[in-house]
């Protein structure tokens, strides 16, 4: 079936929360507050015909990271940014933000075409357009290519799966909110079936879909998965399938290494040999389809409640930024003169591997174990080693942020 016929089939369906109902919300948000996002043109051949919006705060971290945020169906980049609070986080913590935007000419409901083979293959369509935007941001803002991440809601979450599978050499990690695994649909009918039913597939079969999407051999991006247990738009079983897919890619066991609660919600964790969390999942009990909002770990609120942006008592955007290792407070110029150089090197969040994906065609080094604190802050070696082990264990169990 051609893409045109698939889109026509989608138009003929009764209204569905996942595909319709976002548009008015996005416009309403933008009318109440001027967006900090800036549009950029001329970022490449743009085979997917997407729009590029971004936000770069005045003060960036010394080696700034970049978060690519993909909106849901019917939404705009500015509307989802305001709702999820990403530009607020970027300003507070000094990282850059890239928000691609879909056009109605590509998809009548402005969904990213995560199910269209022409848009989800490496160097083709929408996936290639997003990759070109990342390259522009890295070049223009001196982004650390090892600190590039991607996240998204619903169709944007499914497109996040696409980007991690097709460009694992570009992204150090990702976070999928109410999305779907990579490669389970090649047209709208299959996409709708996956959304509503989420057939269980063998882990190896799911992992092969990712491994075959590129010639890359790893190390692979880490992943955070979020899904509401009462989601009637994208079956919650999809969250389990995404986790299953990436556990197989990482050669990790299907059984969680640690289970606990974060802000009252079930949280599962898998880590690697260095104690770094590689895969995690959040089940937002009794929450419908959307992005969970709430008070962050620093007692601040990011985002605005609205359609498919749901007050749940947990700030997914903050926790995702923390999982990416981006919530170290940005140092202001005046403060920098009074702090020792070693102080800036000690992370305020969970330890992460110093390694990450490099740009395409550039060799990617092997993972580097988490290092101890710099010498100026070190106590005797044995004490530091024990503290590092305890910190990693508590972080992985969700008992420390």
What is the dihedral sign for C-alpha 233, 183, 202, 254? negative
Q: How far is the CA of 110 from the CAs of 27, 35, 71, 105, 159, in angstroms?
A: 13, 19, 9, 8, 13
- Find out whether 238 and 255 touch, Cβ atoms under 8 Å: no
Among 54, 154, 258, 350, the active-site one is: 154
- The pair of structure tokens assigned to 256 is 């969680």
Q: Is 154 a catalytic residue?
A: yes
- The pair of structure tokens assigned to 280 is 């995690």
Residue indicated by tokens 């986790």? 243
- Find out whether 211 and 249 touch, Cβ atoms under 8 Å: yes
For the chain, the straight-line distance linking the first and the last C-alpha, in angstroms and rounded, comes to 48
CB neighbour list of residue 91: distance below 8 Å, 6 or more residues apart: 36, 55, 57
d(CA 73, CA 11): 13
d(CA 156, CA 235): 15
Catalytic center residues: 154
């Amino acid at each position: 079936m051609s893409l045109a016929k698939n889109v026509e089939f989608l138009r003929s369906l009764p209204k569905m929360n996942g595909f319709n109902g976002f548009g008015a919300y996005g416009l309403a948000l933008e009318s109440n507050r001027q967006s900090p996002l800036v549009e950029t043109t001329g970022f490449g051949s743009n085979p997917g015909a997407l729009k590029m919006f971004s936000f770069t705060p005045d003060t960036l971290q010394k080696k700034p990271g970049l978060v690519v945020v993909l909106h849901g169906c019917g939404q705009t980049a500015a509307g989802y940014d305001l709702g999820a609070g990403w530009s607020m986080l970027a300003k507070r913590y000094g990282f850059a933000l890239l928000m691609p935007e879909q056009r109605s000419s590509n998809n009548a409901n402005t969904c990213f075409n995560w199910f269209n083979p022409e848009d989800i293959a490496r160097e083709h369509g929408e996936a290639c357009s997003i990759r070109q935007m990342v390259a522009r941001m890295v070049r223009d803002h001196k982004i650390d290519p090892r600190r590039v991440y991607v996240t998204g809601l619903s169709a944007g979450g499914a497109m996040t799966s696409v980007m991690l599978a097709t460009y694992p050499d570009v992204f150090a990690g990702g976070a999928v909110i109410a999305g779907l695994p990579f490669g389970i649909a090649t047209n709208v009918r299959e996409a709708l079936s996956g959304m509503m039913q989420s057939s269980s597939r063998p882990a190896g079969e799911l992992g092969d879909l990712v491994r075959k999407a590129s010639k890359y051999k790893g190390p692979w991006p880490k992943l955070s998965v979020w899904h509401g247990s009462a989601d009637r738009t994208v079956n919650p079983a999809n969250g389990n399938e995404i986790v299953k897919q990436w556990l197989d890619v990482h050669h990790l066991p299907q059984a969680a290494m640690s289970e606990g609660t974060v802000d009252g919600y079930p949280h599962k964790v898998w880590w690697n040999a260095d104690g770094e969390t590689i895969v995690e999942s959040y089940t937002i009990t009794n929450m419908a389809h959307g992005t969970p909002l709430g008070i962050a770990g620093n007692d601040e609120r990011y985002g605005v409640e609205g359609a498919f942006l749901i007050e749940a008592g947990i700030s997914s955007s903050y926790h995702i930024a923390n999982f990416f290792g981006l919530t170290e407070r940005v140092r202001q110029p005046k403060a920098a003169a009074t702090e020792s150089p070693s102080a800036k090197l000690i992370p305020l969040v969970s330890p992460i591997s110093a390694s990450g994906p490099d740009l395409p065609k550039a060799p990617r080094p092997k993972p580097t174990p988490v290092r101890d604190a710099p010498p100026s802050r070190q106590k005797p070696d044995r004490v530091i080693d024990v503290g590092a082990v305890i910190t990693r264990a508590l972080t992985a169990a969700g008992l420390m942020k």
